[in-house]
Amino acid sequence: MSIAVVEIDRKAILHNVEYLKEIVPDSELIAIVKANAYSHGIKGIAELIHDRVDGFGVARLTEAMSLRRIGINKPIVILEGFFLRDNIWFLIDFNLQTIVHSPWQIDLLRDFAGESLITVWFKLDTGMHRLGFNMDEALSEFNRLANCPVVRKPINIISHFSSADELTSQQTLQQIKLFDDFIASIQNKSLIGKCSIAASGGVLAWPMSHRDAVRPGIALYGVSPFQTPVAELQPAMTFKSELITVRPHKQGETVGYGQIWTSSQDTKLGVVALGYGDGYPRSIPENTPVLINGRRVPIVGRVSMDMIVIDLGNESQDKPGDEVIFWGKGLPVEEIATLTGISAYELLTRLTTRAKIHYIN
Ligand SMILES: *Cc1c(COP(=O)(O)O)cnc(C)c1O
């Protein structure tokens, strides 16, 4: 068939959900399915795990609306919040929960005239310094939010770690302390809803951060938020294609654009139907491996839009149609991340729609 395929093992996803529930038995599990479920297919993943999770998290309003349109009726949290006044109508019509991270959003909610109530998550900046209220304005802004008629009480409280993947860093403990200090400073305790601070890193490495709800993304897909794979997780994705052809190649001959590689010996080259147009990075170091018939061989020459050339070696018995794996079982995406300096998060989410998603199991 010779096309780039993103093969997703459903059983692995279900295993990961069960594992996460096992290590976080007392918190709600909000499954993060932004960016097309990290390229695993938002529809396929949401439908697969719908009955096993407590809710879903996405970055954008459009992602949340697409979940509702395919019939997902669990709570959905928009992690970036709403951008415009008219977005508030969609929050109501689609029954979506929003993060509130800025004073101007509270102004819009305060001035909004409507009967319905919106469930909100008050975002506290405990050290990420991206979105969220500063510690010194947080309490007064929280009270202002609580006074908006359209806002459902109690108000959920959320924050995000900047360095949960750094296991010896003091930053995470400091962020937890600020989170707790803020919650303690709220006088009217009945205004305090669910509290959530842990994404995958917090879930796996910082048990004291679990609280009422956890928000794992990458761990659901079996990929580690750290440098190295997590043994208990099962990677769900195999990114692969097939050999289009195998050609003899002489010592001293180059291959591909810019002639950046010259063979030091007679060999056989395989041409694979997958390229940067499918989302494989163009900028990779020499000798980045792929997996073919159970062995690792290097990519040679420049990655092109639709094809990649691999050095099969002179003794190769590989033939057109043989499967070539770029990451997945036997070649962890974490390893490609380390080799290329492109994080596993980016490797997953940069896949393009030309690479077709196939579900197995
Ligand atoms: C993306 C995101 C998550 C999930 O992060 P992972 O590291 O993939 O688990 C959780 N919370 C927020 C606010 C996010 O933006």
SS (H, E, C) the chain: CCCCEEEEEHHHHHHHHHHHHHHCCCCEEEEECHHHHHHCCHHHHHHHHHHHCCEEEECCHHHHHHHHHCCCCCCEEECCCCCCCCHHHHHHHCCCEEEECCHHHHHHHHCCCCCCCECEEEEECCCCCCCCECHHHHHHHHHHHHCCCCECCCEEEECCCCCCCCCCCCHHHHHHHHHHHHHHHCCCHHHEEEEECCCHHHHHHCHHHCCCEECCCHHHHCCCCCCCCCCCCCCCEEEEEEEEEEEEECCCCEECHHHCEECCCCEEEEEECCCHHHCCCCCCCCCCEEEECCEEEEEECCCCCCCEEEECCCCCCCCCCCEEEEEECCECHHHHHHHHCCCHHHHHHCCCCCCEEEEEC
How many whole angstroms separate alpha carbon 191 and alpha carbon 170?
A: 30
Domain formed by 10-221, architecture: Alpha-Beta Barrel (3.20)
Ligand 1 pocket, mutate which of 19, 27, 32 (most atoms under 8 A from CB) = 32
Number of Cβ within a 10 Å radius of residue 336: 21
Candidates 34, 100, 40; CA nearest to 67 is 34
Q: What are phi and psi of 341, to 5 degrees?
A: 75, 15
The CB of 224 under 6 Å from ligand 1? The reply is: no
215 lines ligand 1 (CB under 6 A): yes
pLDDT at 2: 55
How far is Cα 60 from Cα 137, in angstroms, rounded to an integer? Answer: 26
pLDDT tens digits in sequence order for the chain, 361 residues long? 558 999 999 999 999 999 999 999 999 999 999 999 999 999 999 999 999 999 999 999 999 999 999 999 999 999 999 999 999 999 999 999 999 999 999 999 999 988 899 999 999 999 999 999 999 999 999 999 999 999 999 999 999 999 999 999 999 999 999 999 999 999 999 999 999 999 999 999 999 999 999 999 999 999 999 989 999 999 999 999 999 999 999 999 999 999 999 999 999 999 999 999 999 999 999 899 999 999 999 999 999 999 999 999 999 999 999 999 999 989 999 999 999 999 999 999 999 999 999 999 9
pLDDT value, residue 115: 85
Whether 39 lines ligand 1, by a CB cut-off of 6 Å, is no
**What per-residue confidence (pLDDT) applies to 3?**
87
32 in contact with ligand 1, CB cutoff 6 A = yes
- CA 63-326-303 angle, to 5 degrees, is 95
CA torsion sign for 50, 55, 60, 64 is positive
Q: Whose CA is nearest to atom 15 of ligand 1?
A: 79
Q: Which amino acid is at 348?
A: L
For a mutational test of ligand 1's pocket, the pick from 33, 34, 39, 79, i.e. the residue with the most ligand atoms closer than 8 A to its C-beta, is 79
* 257 labelled catalytic: yes
pLDDT of the residue at 130: 96
Domain ranges of the chain: 10-221, 237-360
Q: How far is the CA of 348 from the centre of ligand 1 (A)?
A: 14
Question: Which pLDDT value is given to residue 113?
Answer: 86
* Nearest-atom index, ligand 1, CA of 32: 4
Question: Given 2.130.10.10, 1.10.132.10, 3.30.70.360, 2.40.37.10, which CATH number is that of 237-360?
Answer: 2.40.37.10
**Quick one: which atom of ligand 1 is closest to the CA of 200?**
9
- Catalytic-labelled residue, pool 38, 43, 240, 257: 257
Which is nearest to 224 in space by CA: 334, 326, 346, 329?
334
Q: Which of 19, 34, 276, 280 is catalytic?
A: 34
Instruction: Find the distance separating the first CA and the last CA of the chain, reported in whole Å.
Output: 20
Residue 199, ligand 1, Cβ within 6 A: yes
Give pTM, 2 decimals.
Answer: 0.96
Separation between Cα atoms, residue 292 and residue 310, nearest integer Å: 10
Closest CA to 346 of 251, 280, 271, 262: 280
